[in-house]
Amino acid sequence: MIEYYPVMLERLDQQKWDSLVEKQGFAFHLTAWLKTWEQSFPFKSSVYLAVDNGEIVGGLPFCIRKKFKFKEAYSMPRGCYGGAVLGENEDPSIKNSIESEFTFWCLREDFTRINIVDYSPEVNTNLEKYDVKPLSTHILNLKYSTSEQLEKLASSHKRNLPKAYDKGFSTEILQDSQGVQAYFNMVRETAKRQGHDPFYRYEFYDALMRNFEDDDTLYWPIIYLEGKPIASAIIFIHRNMAVYWDGASTEEALESGANFYMFWNLIQMLKEMNIKILNFGASPRKRPGLRRFKSGWGAERMPYFEYNFQKPIARVARKIKGFF
């Protein structure tokens, strides 16, 4: 008989959980990602497990956030892919049971908000108690040859790519706190250009680097021009997919085409690694320029969904600026 229950990160058999995720889930299901949130924000990370005769057969990772009298569960925070994941060859109905049991547990524990981001182009009818918010990403299929990939580029990309390769860029892989500081400086410049403050602090990026330093999941290149860091991207490579999660650049990078150079190099590297898909990450409607940049590589838009269950008082609270 399968048992369903939550386990806090410090009590979780992290090796067993990560072994399951390495075959079925996303990088955002890994304990390294859970640790990063717990170390950088006032969150407690957990996994809602499905256990059969002592063996983990599935689970749903989530972070708990408490503020004042509010208690919220995120799988995962800030729109990163979460939801339930199963072990290989497990009955798909177990996924529905994990989601249902998790929801009932949250309600019993008096959570004021439950948020699940499910990477699937189809609406999850099992989450019928939730409000559904459509989101989208852009997906680039890497099965084509280099010449075919070039043909799929938008005219703007075809025009800018050769120019970028004439600039004398160089690439270094971020490996230490000095690199993290260089990245964070670009984050602050990008945020200032866009008219807001950075959401993630330096401590988050530093914890991210340290928690993923022992495996090949995290790929974090920095592009330099004449010795100065001007562009960077955070890429998670897991199973047959690479996900572009975050990026930053200076004004000089935009003028010189550094992002064209960086992403074309990334595409070539992923093809050599036999990675099948480059996921360009969230493509919000309010960022049309970003959407054009992603689609210009030949990437196609794919919908996925965010599920929210909120008590009325939580709906009011979240309208207050800075509540998150």
Question: Which pLDDT tens digit goes with each residue over 269-302?
Answer: 999 999 999 999 998 888 888 899 999 999 999 9
Give the pLDDT score at 49.
98
Measured torsion, CA atoms of residues 225, 227, 230, 233, in degrees rounded to the nearest 10: 100
252: Cβ contacts below 8 Å, ≥ 6 apart: 225, 228, 230, 258
Question: Which pLDDT tens digit goes with each residue over 191-232?
Answer: 999 899 999 999 999 999 999 998 899 999 999 999 999 999
- CATH value of 143-275 in 3.40.50.670, 3.20.20.150, 1.10.1740.10, 3.40.630.30: 3.40.630.30
Residues of the chain with pLDDT under 70: 313-324
Give the pLDDT score at 319.
62
Give the pLDDT score at 317.
62
Side-chain half-sphere of 50: how many Cα atoms within 13 Å? 24
| Mean pLDDT over the full length of the chain | 94
* Dist. CA 73–CA 111, nearest whole Å: 7
Residues of the chain by 3-state class (helix, strand, coil), percent to 5? 40, 30, 30
Give the pLDDT score at 215.
85
DSSP string, 89-134: T--THHHHHHHHHHHHHHHHTT-SEEEEEE--SS--GGGTTSEEEE
* Dist. CA 203–CA 39, nearest whole Å: 8
User: Do 2-135+305-317 and 143-275 fold alike per CATH?
Assistant: yes
The CATH number of 2-135+305-317 is 3.40.630.30
**Could you tell me the pTM of the whole model?**
0.94
Peptide bond connecting 269 to the previous residue in cis, omega within 30 degrees of 0: no
154: Cβ contacts below 8 Å, ≥ 6 apart: 292, 295, 296, 297, 298
* Dist. CA 12–CA 247, nearest whole Å: 31
In the structure encoding, which two tokens stand for residue 38, read together? 């717990």
Give domain limits for the chain: 2-135+305-317, 143-275
